[in-house]
Structure 1
Amino acid sequence: MNIVKTILFECLSQETWVVNWSLVTSNFPQVDFNVAFKTPTTIGSYFPFKDKVKEVEEQSLVVYKLQFNSCEAIYIGKTERILGHRIKEHKTSNSSACFQDMKNSVGHKIHYDGIEIIDRADNNMKLQVKELLHILKQKPTLNKQLNAQSNYDIKTIIVKAYQQFREGK
């Protein structure tokens, strides 16, 4: 009985409501119908864009590159949050050891004004993949991922990015 109810409801919900409801209920008296209405469009569908943020430090869901003023050392990172908040964390001592050693050595200053956004994504999984690909391509000296990341881990992250390979799908 639940199958009939589900199939009938799905068929009816995809059609326009030209069906006489009393006719449906009289033909299926044993079925207890629960009617749910769903609008075909939402207000959000009329606004498929986000406000354009011009300031680099106000953007989110980005892969970014930091460079040092005095040498060729670069760091590639990603953040889902507002980039300015992540940069503040880099300025504190909570950053990675390799990053801190370079930052604290004499004559090495990070060029915080020259932050470059090198990629964007619409979710964290895509962001991880893009960050990894940029790290593999540019081979920055300050990224731990380059040395610690095994081939297996890289393939795992890339495979997880494709929805058809995720568990339970």
Structure 2
Amino acid sequence: MPFELRHMQPGDAEWLVEQHRQLYMRDEGFDESFAPLVADILADFEQSHDPECERAFIACSDDQRLGSVFCVRLDEKTAKLRLFLLVPEARGQGAGRMMLDAWMRFARQAGYDRAQLWTHESHKAACALYQAMGWRITRSEPVHSFGVSLVEQTWEIDL
């Protein structure tokens, strides 16, 4: 399946909120408090992102949305990876690696020296990809969020 990355378009935010709600509820047991967090992240991005150093990547194949990854500024030298999502039917075909490669290239070109992301230990495939691409865990702690017990992780990489 050939993949391409594009910028945000009308309807993408709503699709992303719903995909996050459905997939995290089904796969992780998250409650309804998760979707509003995703909606807030997207609204903030749409209202105030700086296109010189922040970008949304939407993965598509034949005009069908498959996932996303966002680059936002944490501080002047640090990019933050957000909303990395790939629908199940697109997993295992190289789309995640392509998305993360594009994200890292953009972050470097935007002038960031390092990057950070927040995830959960239960996201085994994503964590394996981060590790394979040189990211390292800098924090790991048990929490109770979105109605479930999780192990939150912060990962970082020097760009």
Please confirm whether the aligned pair reaches a TM-score higher than 0.5, indicating the same fold: no
Bigger radius of gyration among the two: 1
TM-score by length of structure 2 reads 0.27
More helix by share: 1
